[in-house]
Structure 1
């Protein structure tokens, strides 16, 4: 009964959270004719996925095949085996689940394509690790541009994205090169042409995560999925040990909703819950996260309350960030991975020493920062660069050029010095150590090989650097003053630990048995990727795949 004594409403399946995995599951169930309810505790649909790049890491996907790019389940499995390995402390990433993911992810994207959703592959986005089975062309799949005006009144209920331009991700990545590349200028003109066309026709084409969530929301609404906003789930209800529904608060009223086939938890992680961070990932801050404000972990704790096992709670999807003035008011922080990898820049700890490969992926670099900080002061670290860098590359979200916001100087965010010694003094770094580090790095640049960290050796390193810089895309000397520095922090785009699930996405108890009728996906679950992200889309791809798997299992499992 609800707070007014009325009997609970009943659905076949109830989904907590409105991210990509939720909508994917809902579409599977609606195609089978089941009644589905999606519950979103905020006033906006889409979760952190909507403000992200919306990339999915999908092995052997149909778009690779269409482009003639070779990939296979065996190749992808070999890659995951190499980068994840067998670790007892990563049960969510056990080989059984990895095999299931490699098998089911391409089926998931095929299912959505058959429902009319439109995707494409990024033409080039190499896997993050140079390991057996890696794909250099990459396994990154994204949404096509989507006209969110097709959503009607729901358009205003879709969480805004980070890029207000009708530009594909790979096109947007070229924009910082417009002053130096004719090809980039052509790309800019193409994007501006789309924007003008949209203005004239009344369209509003979105990109990246917002386009992905917009397509999924549109398909869900068309399919008859019921979606309740500002509906905060407080309890998972059990009947004879089986998940039978939820208790929630909506519009100030508590009510129960029954679920005859099951409940899927896809309510995000705990990146915005400082109490949980202090418990599981000490040394991190909710203020450094680019996850949405509602990423507070209560459904993970609710799962634990009813006997679910938690796993991999110390893992996160790291992203090195800067905190320019005003960033405290911004949900998405200044991601610096595409900044620190460019020529004429390095990252050093507070003593002035390099400790990691700056061109590694954002989760890997952030993890190296956290690891190094356990041995030496490194939070914050310093990104050190020279005037060559400032003139050619973006910095903390600003376009290339020496002119930077006045507030940067007023807040001492951008430190500068005519010499490395002057810069070191301003940053509190030992001048001799910083000088020695820079000279050692410059020596590596001149010989064409980073002997300390192999920066620039892998396909991903070369891809993420400057395609116009020769002979190396990522190695460039730091020698032209004045010299500059900004502080870096180990931010994140979400956590990677949560409810432990099996290869059917069923939530497991601490004794290893499944809780009947209860499923989890996304950041609410312990990631199939363990403590790494193998390539772009290593969180959204699994979120959608396990949502697909959970729905299919629920349809075929009237008893457990």
Structure 2
């Protein structure tokens, strides 16, 4: 038995809903099949940030940007790589042209968005935007979803707080403005309780809005419907086998089913040394659709790339802890020989790549985040609030070490004491001179943004000299893989010889990213995911003209 639709979308990430809305606006029948029992994918659990160059919200705020500036930035930050066809100049230009149009389309569909006022691009190169090119969802009352509310994947922040507000909460003991932000958030939470609302934020808000719009538009969504096969007839993909049933599509199939960060077999093949337990993606992120594409002759590329995020692995807890505050003062990162080897305030993807690269010549997985009491009493550590009180299990399992001297800390960690002492002393000397001569920490806009906003002199440099001292194990985690099916400027999947597999489109982390070996800015995955989905839907509709 078979059924037919105009377009089939595999996976329920933000790009899936974006493509579905384009096609429904043209009156086409759209089916989304999702193998999980929840809607939203990893996007729903994320910050929901979209990197969108030259967007309408920048214009409204008077923030300068242009097509030329954005392309110059990607040319400088991403660069040209023969082995990275997903990040070709043609695809970069297509993304820059389409991204602001995609946002305008979503706004016309009633999706309420905004920009974070200050969230810099990751690299201080030609074309960079220090105010940033980020777009996020406004808060959204997920009770509007009715019975689908229970089917929307939960987010990471159970408060009605905008993402930029949530970023200020760690400062609330030190900053009056941050205390006011907390009171504003608590006021919203109280209002929601009194009025019966449930306002979500970040990725859950974005996906809540997209799901709500898709349901209103008449998109059919089927959960617990894993796809086992792409149906090919006469060299064209004409449908899928979902839940054992043949489902065909007149205009095409879009794959948006995530990467392979939860598939250890694929990681061993493409990213040796990386562990699936280091990832923050959902459990379903196993790369089946990338492999389905390979079975019908699709090309893959950039399979060694990942969107890094430094993490800590708590004992007895399967949930990794992001440990992003390596940019704060009074902190360095050293390898197993006690030597500092990176700019700790860089973009998370770069930090994790440096850990893996370093591990090829010196023990660096795990590395050690070395801090003193100035840090512990002021900043968060792996999600724990400032202060010396940390879970005892962290000390018992030796993911966190504490000692009165640097030498004793080194011994407890199994590091050479003389080497760690020399590393700390060299760093302290440079801090007192006001510059990181070894790695230029603090010389980039993103460094300053991710450091301590309340420090007047330097936001990311600070001596490590007040005991007791602490060392925390740090691993090269990720928020997904960044390689997959190779696509053209219309998001059509290609073969190794560059020919098009007719009827098959792909987007998101199922594809070789337009960002190549970097993440150009916050939201460097979700922004492109939605843009290529929009382009895929636009191209599919051309077949009806």
Scaled by the length of structure 1, the TM-score of the pair is 0.97
Given that 2:37 and 2:223 are in contact with CA atoms closer than 8 Å, whether structure 1 keeps it comes out as yes
Q: What's the counterpart of residue 304 of structure 1? A: 294
Given that 2:312 and 2:321 are in contact with CA atoms closer than 8 Å, whether structure 1 keeps it comes out as yes
- Unaligned runs of at least 5 residues, structure 2: none
Tell me the distance in 2 between the aligned counterparts of 1:457 and 1:529. Answer: 23
Tell me the distance in 1 between the aligned counterparts of 2:79 and 2:388. Answer: 45
The partner residue of 2:64 within 56, 65, 70 is 70
The offset of 1:336, in angstroms, is 1.2
Q: What's the counterpart of residue 426 of structure 1? A: 412
Q: What's the counterpart of residue 536 of structure 2? A: 550
The partner residue of 2:430 within 437, 441, 444 is 444
Tell me the distance in 2 between the aligned counterparts of 1:473 and 1:63. Answer: 28
Q: What's the counterpart of residue 89 of structure 1? A: 83
- What pairs up with 1:37-436 in 2 under 5 angstroms? 37-249=31-243, 254-328=244-318, 330=319, 333-337=320-324, 339-436=325-422
Tell me the distance in 1 between the aligned counterparts of 2:424 and 2:17. Answer: 50
The offset of 1:404, in angstroms, is 1.2
Given that 2:309 and 2:479 are in contact with CA atoms closer than 8 Å, whether structure 1 keeps it comes out as yes
The offset of 1:558, in angstroms, is 4.8
The partner residue of 2:12 within 11, 15, 18 is 18
Given that 2:33 and 2:242 are in contact with CA atoms closer than 8 Å, whether structure 1 keeps it comes out as no
Per-residue Cα deviation, 1:440-478 (whole angstroms, up to 9, x for no partner): 110111111000000011111000000112311010000
The partner residue of 1:463 within 434, 439, 449 is 449
Tell me the distance in 2 between the aligned counterparts of 1:108 and 1:85. Answer: 24
Tell me the distance in 2 between the aligned counterparts of 1:523 and 1:326. Answer: 29
Given that 1:327 and 1:334 are in contact with CA atoms closer than 8 Å, whether structure 2 keeps it comes out as no
The alignment partner of 2:251 has SS state of strand
Root-mean-square deviation (Å):
0.8
Q: What's the counterpart of residue 476 of structure 1? A: 462
**4+ residue runs of structure 1 moved beyond 3 angstroms?**
none
Tell me the distance in 2 between the aligned counterparts of 1:151 and 1:444. Answer: 55
Per-residue Cα deviation, 1:29-68 (whole angstroms, up to 9, x for no partner): 0000000000000000010100000000000000000001
- Unaligned runs of at least 5 residues, structure 1: 1-5
Q: What's the counterpart of residue 527 of structure 2? A: 541
Tell me the distance in 2 between the aligned counterparts of 1:178 and 1:535. Answer: 26
Tell me the distance in 2 between the aligned counterparts of 1:558 and 1:187. Answer: 51
Tell me the distance in 2 between the aligned counterparts of 1:83 and 1:138. Answer: 14
Per-residue Cα deviation, 1:297-338 (whole angstroms, up to 9, x for no partner): 01100000001000111100011101122432x2xx21112x
Per-residue Cα deviation, 1:333-375 (whole angstroms, up to 9, x for no partner): 21112x1110001000000111110000111111111111111
Tell me the distance in 2 between the aligned counterparts of 1:408 and 1:288. Answer: 17
